[in-house]
Structure 1
């Protein structure tokens, strides 16, 4: 690659950083339009740089390239660099982050009109994209971890954007604490890798690991398990998944950015990037697939019982990331990254369409108070239909069909029939809750004044992102070639009669789920009402609505015992002993303060008395 391409590669993260710095240093003096312009243009320039880098990458035969900007730290053998690694995997992620990120920023310029603190919003959005780009371009785990923590911090700031509402602040705090729990495991994994392999450079690690460890080595298993801990926290998989639904407290473009193209896919990227380490730990690899299968199933049931349109999409995100983990667990890395890209298209479309509904109905997002919107919001309705089709993996016409089918076929080819069956069952649940979401939001009679008074969606900054994402969420988006080359292993062998049978089964399940949902929610809603009215059905609905009670479980297991220990230790003797020295210091201070009267006669008497005592001591001694 030439020098100009290196400049473009550097520009992919410098432009978002520059935009964030300009907005931060403006101290709120910029107008709403100027702030939006800086925020959108900076990401647009990063996307153009990515396009230029991608064209040059193809011209040079998709050869991997490393660019070292400077040496960061030098302490003995620990000499990490600030270096960028461009290969097929990082270029795919870079295209998703800057491309979909630009469309989300453009839509946000419409969505955030009239909001308080628009400068702060775009500043944090730009810094979020900057951190995510560092995460995927870093050629070593330390730089990756820097970006990893950066997206965690920015997500806290963005989720808590409406900080005047206490519940939103707690949602941001919850996301920060839970993801930090996973980050601790990732940090431990990095320490183990450096101690065992002597480097944090990704290419060096993947080369040295097979030389030191054999497959199944306990240290390899432990290290992979620590990396998995970090991945499940950032990607909201079991058991660290509870933060994702509450993260809907942020503005809808934030939800689109975090839950579609960037933060939740970081764990998938981490496992794919360090695939050589996981292949040396087959038990942990299987655990990755099991976690994905369990998460996609549990999240699918939870989505069935939500009434807030954004929470339905949040649990669907959790479920789709579960599919990616399932693919990683069976060694289908390319299929996982393919679904990651397609998911970014249709989930960004669904979130932005949900944002359009919220703005056009005066911030109403409860399906029980919507309905009858398909005529009033035609473009938004089209976005939901096309995005929903991709989410439900409707055969042939939707992009989601091709990516999800690749995962299921890979699971079958790897001999993991149970994981494959979980994926097929998850596809059925996905079709049902997707149809429920679309019918409840757009069909039937309006159920509130907000729905009846909905105003039409309009404007280029509103329409262009939706139209582009609609096109990418169809079969056209599935034709985008991923330049993964030999970066990732080929994956399981998927040739054979079973592949075609499974494809037909997947088609039947997807279409059957849609038809079943249409019958239930259009023709026989009385069956659902009777089921929910029943005592057991009502309990089950609330159980799924509360996402299987994980929040309550963690409250009993962790929060309450911690608070109990705090109460017990509040007056313990160690604490009292530690307070003894401050108490003596305060007592001495109070005693000496009494001698400072400001009266000369008192000072003269004190001096005479002191001199007399000193003379007596000397004479007696």
Structure 2
């Protein structure tokens, strides 16, 4: 059963990819949906057996790499953390596969698309079920590859090419940091198995490691390097620029990447390494600061975006910031709880946005929509549910996890935690503002789009409606139903899969906070939503006047240009690297040093020598006699200088005989 969970999506991907031209679009959809849905059913059984019954499972297939003390097995670990991720990944993936049958139904390359989706799911399952860092790295790189293939699925579009290359290059930076972290783990522990590393972490926590000829505390250095990998995959501040551009891919791809697979890999890595990170206090402080800044940055940027999918993309980036700083505060269970909750309502938002885009002729600019609540009532209801859950409104899924993250941030009583708490609280205000802004511009204001497009807008087929309805149920209820199981006081659900040192445990302190502190993020969310509704419901004149004022225009431009990160990277980083590559590595090394020694140096010398030697082969006897005479004389000279006291007489005798002849 456990191996089927991992390899069934791979089977569906292979069949759809290699035999799609024979099966056709409908046949490929049937095969891939059947394999992924069966994987979800088996994941539910694994969740019951491992998570609820407490029977963790370990499978070792075979030895993979072995060289001296370096030993890596193909092995799978199914514990509580793994089965929670399995439920999330396979459930979202199944619905995305089903949704794609309608959304991509007219695409001639549908079998290839379904193959890529299943391959994406397979690599994510490899990542979450791995028993060691090297096998986990295989899944880590696999989801990066599949994201490139899916973002660039419409490869004739230049913007899709650019977005896919950007995602690949930016993630390579994070992957390089993760690889260095794995190297450091092997140097310190002599192993890359989770069990070995986590068991010996307390004994080796005081060790040091030399990096760039500087001595560091080994655990803090490795923790930061692992976090660099998480920054790349989970789009944290600095390496976040690929995430909004990934919207160039088809909408089902956006839902799968942002809800359940690629961007959650970084949070999963931090949670998986919790027994190690607990002994990296310096790294945890950095994680908290970066997570808080990301939540704030992405929320403010989403305030003024006009592309429907980009608003939701920056929302994902902001929510990932919440999860990351929860990990930095050692509340890993709360982070995974929010990860699972977020997956449901974020998939609902993305697929609901896909339904809107599909209905209005692939238009994504919210300023050209409006009035869709009468034309798409079911999609409007689903988007309202997803937006309210994202805002953290009471009794919806997001409320039970996001507010707990902010509570433990305040209750930890450290500089990093309070920094993250205040930024997270203001981000909650911004989240509510842009969520209601999205609903207003798309559904509530008077129609602003093309008359022909709006008249032809209608709800999608049964597949789209079924998927949105199935996602709305957990978006409303799963937070309430699973809160006590995941983060309730005294729960033993996580077992040994997550670890927190006693003095880092702050979730109990969060229960005794003042009521005003607890409800402040909720009040900020309600204030942001109400203010957005007032301003955008009828395009208030005061909003226009504020935008066109001196300060308003500066702020709007700053946020709309994404805090100028792209400008800084393009002008001061990328351009300088390209100039250096052209003027130094290309002109000086490639065309200078290498070509002077290679094609235009040694090669020309050899050719000239060959041409000169060919000139001696003239066919004239006296030329050959000169060569023979001079050759023998040189040989004799060498013989005399090498052995001056031995055979001088013999040499002279042979010389006389030779001259006589």
Give the alignment's TM-score, normalised by structure 2: 0.87
Query: CA separation in 1, counterparts of 2:102 and 2:20?
Result: 22
- Matched residue, 2:627: 617
- Cα displacement (A) at 1:49: 1.6
**Partner in structure 1 of residue 481 of structure 2:** 479
| Residues 29 and 536 of structure 1, relative CA distance in 2, 3 Å threshold | farther
**Conserved? CA contact 1:28–1:120, under 8 Å:** no
- Residue 335 of structure 1 and its aligned partner are, at CA, apart by 0.7
Give the SS at the match of 1:72: strand
**Maintained 8 Å contact 2:323/2:336:** yes
Matched, 1:500 2:515: yes
Match of 1:323 in 2: 322
Question: Cα deviation per residue 1:538-565 (whole Å; 9 max; x = unaligned)?
Answer: 2221211111010111123311111221
Distance 1:499 1:488, change over 3 A: farther
**Which of 587, 595, 600 is residue 583 of structure 1 equivalent to?**
600
Unpaired runs of 5+ residues, structure 2, are 209-215, 487-492, 633-661
Alignment of 1:387-536 (within 5 A): 387-396=386-395, 398-415=396-413, 416-449=417-450, 451-480=453-482, 481-482=485-486, 483-489=493-499, 491-492=505-506, 493-498=508-513, 500-522=515-537, 525-536=540-551
Residue pair 1:71, 1:82 contacting (<8 A) in 2 also: yes
Q: 1:464 to 1:585 in 2, by over 3 A?
A: same
| 1:345-401 CA distance string (max 9 Å, x none) | 0000000000011111110111010011112112211110000000011112x1100
Q: Deviations 1:219-258 (Å, cap 9, x if unpaired)? A: 1110101001000110000111111000100000000000
Name segments (4+ residues, structure 1) moved above 6 Å. 588-595, 605-608
Task: Give the aligned partner of residue 600 of structure 1.
Answer: none
Q: Is the 8 A contact 1:69 1:82 kept in 2?
A: yes
Q: Is the counterpart of residue 37 in structure 1 residue 30 in structure 2?
A: yes
CA RMSD, 1 decimal: 2.3
| CA distance, structure 2, for counterparts of residue 454 and residue 91 of structure 1 | 44
Alpha-carbon distance in structure 2 between the residues aligned to 1:500 and 1:11: 48
Instruction: Tell me what 2:365 maps to.
Output: 366
The range that moved more, 89-98 or 580-589, is 580-589
Query: How do 1:203-352 and structure 2 match up within 5 A?
Result: 203-214=195-206, 218-352=217-351
Q: Distance in 2 between matches of 1:607 and 1:220?
A: 72
Alpha-carbon spacing, 1:584–1:65, altered in 2? closer, same or farther (3 Å): same
- Contact 2:333–2:498, Cα closer than 8 Å, also in 1: yes
The answer for the alignment partner of 2:654 in structure 1 is none
Q: Note if contact 1:471-1:477 (Cα within 8 Å) is conserved in structure 2.
A: no
Q: Which moved more, 1:240-249 or 1:605-614?
A: 605-614
TM-score, normalization: structure 1? 0.93
Equivalent-residue separation in structure 1 for 2:479 and 2:253 (angstroms): 23
Change (3 A) 1:43 1:499: farther
Q: Which of 14, 22, 34 is equivalent to 2:15?
A: 22
1:145 matched to 2:132: no
Alpha-carbon distance in 1 for matches of 2:424, 2:410: 10
Higher radius of gyration, 1 or 2:
2
Tell me the secondary structure at the aligned position of residue 57 of structure 1.
Answer: helix
Contact 2:82 2:128 in 1 (8 A): yes
More displaced stretch, 586-595 vs 260-269 = 586-595
Contact 1:23 1:119 in 2 (8 A): yes
* Aligned mates of 1:545, 1:304 — CA distance in 2: 8
Give the match's secondary structure for 1:313: helix
Residue 385 of structure 1 is matched in structure 2 by 384
How many residues align? The count is 604
Per-residue Cα deviation, 1:134-189 (whole angstroms, up to 9, x for no partner): 00000100000000000001101111111111111011100100011000000000
* Alpha carbons of structure 1 residues 560 and 111: separation in structure 2 relative to 1, 3 Å: same
Confirm or deny that 1:547 pairs with 2:558.
no
Tell me the equivalent position of 2:114. Answer: 122
